[in-house]
Amino acid sequence: FSRPGNGICHQVHLERFGKPGKTLIGSDSHTPTGGGIGMLAMGAGGLDVAVAMGGG
């Protein structure tokens, strides 16, 4: 989603892709900050996120 050098990933992705009412699942400890803009944002372990991305 972002090339190296564009900024801190959790902030860059929040600014570019964050929208109120959307769901965000991430393995970064800063993932819950998405709640500040009205997202349902949950932090999870890497394997849990991979399973969610795979549709499981």
pTM: 0.68
The answer to whether 29 and 45 are in contact (CB under 8 A) is no
Tell me the mean pLDDT in the region 5-23: 90
Beta strands in 1-56 (DSSP E): 23-26, 40-43
What residues are paired with 41 via a beta bridge?
24
Q: Per residue in 19-47, pLDDT tens? A: 999 998 888 889 899 999 999 999 899 89
